[in-house]
Amino acid sequence: MPDRRVVFTDTNTVGLEEFDFDAARLAPDQCAIDTLYSIVSAGTELASLTGLEARRYPVYPGYGGCGRVTAVGDAVRDIAPGDTVMSYTPHASRALTGTLVAKVPAGLDPQLAPAARMAAVGMTALRISNGEAGDHVAVIGLGLVGNLCAQIFTLAGCDVIGIDLSAKRTALAEACGVRNVIHAGEVDVREAVADITGGDMCEVVVEAIGSPAATEQAAGLAAKAGEVVLLGSPRATHETDITPFLRSIHMWGDGCITFKGAHEWRYPTRHNPSGHVKHSIERNVEILLGWMADGRLRTRELITHVLPPDDCAAAYAGLRDHKDDYLGVVFDWAAGGG
């Protein structure tokens, strides 16, 4: 079969197109990969597809994949042809990449491996925060990234509170080991958080949706001198009186809360211990793949749909219009994608 890739040709228009894969273009720091599976990032990809975030079409989406290495450049170390790897690659049957490639540990289902890409986004919130074992941490939004983020803070020893408007998503987070969940459509969230924390509120509040309105509300869940971490990328327009928000940051009596951005690319891609930089995206991914392999980080429950790439239009429509039912969507390229 010819090589194919997912393409957004216009707003809310998605399909597959054939392309010429030229393995001869392999750079010294790149790997050539035959894709087995790729995972959809609902937030970023839907923002591009729906026009919420301005893009010049065509757009070739994709966040992460898993595949088998077919060739490596002369400068590549520790990766060899035949290895099964997780990679930062688009939705395509084959790819060349030098961005980040990590071996999939023995025992980890390759179908689940691309979820490490989404977990690495969630891991950034832990890295950038001051959250410590025993702290109360609220995660607002229990989509794929939010659920994984809540699990990661739980694994770090924090007492996590997962918050979502969807009863299905709160139930799923609870099933994945998140100790406290709040169905935001049924209760006053601030009162519920106060009940769980004994009135102390949360040392860390993570906004995992990308909603400016939720970010504004997050300050009300934070403890005095606590912090709010922006994990989701803000996109939608939000009109408000900004003064109370600024007072929550500046005034001791209003909280003196610190706001932090947790965009994953704030850390270096490659691990370089000799450079005295502790955290990197590569190190995060390797840790997360290990947690997934030994069952500490639960991902199988989060993959709601494994679809052939031919069904890409239906996949994005489901993520856009049926958020309760579509959470983790994986394209199975071995099932006829290219």
CA dihedral 60, 64, 65, 69 (to 10 degrees): 90
In the chain, ranges of CATH 3.90.180.10 domains: 4-118+299-335
Specify the CATH architecture of the domain 4-118+299-335.
Alpha-Beta Complex (3.90)
Which residue ranges of the chain lie beneath pLDDT 50?
A: none
pLDDT in tens, 296-323: 999 999 999 999 999 999 999 999 999 9
Residue type present at position 305: H
For the segment 97-151, what is each residue's pLDDT rounded down to a tens digit? 998 999 999 999 999 999 999 999 999 999 999 999 999 999 999 999 999 999 9
CA–CA separation, 152 and 154 (whole Å): 5
CB 205 within 8 A of CB 140: yes
Strand pairing class (84-87; 64-72): antiparallel
Q: What's the number of CA atoms in the CB half-sphere (13 Å) around residue 118?
A: 35
Which residues, 6+ apart, have CB-to-CB distance to 238 below 8 Å?
211, 212, 213, 216
pLDDT of residue 338: 54
Pair of tokens at residue 116: 């490490």
Q: How far apart are CA 104 and CA 66, in angstroms?
A: 8
Domain 130-261 part of CATH 1.20.210.10: no
- Of 123, 153, 124, give the one whose Cα is nearest residue 138: 153
Report the chain's terminal Cα–Cα distance, integer Å.
5
The whole-number pLDDT of residue 65 equals: 97
Residue 1, pLDDT score: 74
What letter does residue 186 receive in the DSSP assignment?
T
* DSSP designation for 179: S
Stretch(es) of the chain classified as CATH 3.40.50.720: 130-261
Determine the pLDDT at residue 336: 59
Q: What pLDDT score was predicted for residue 118?
A: 97
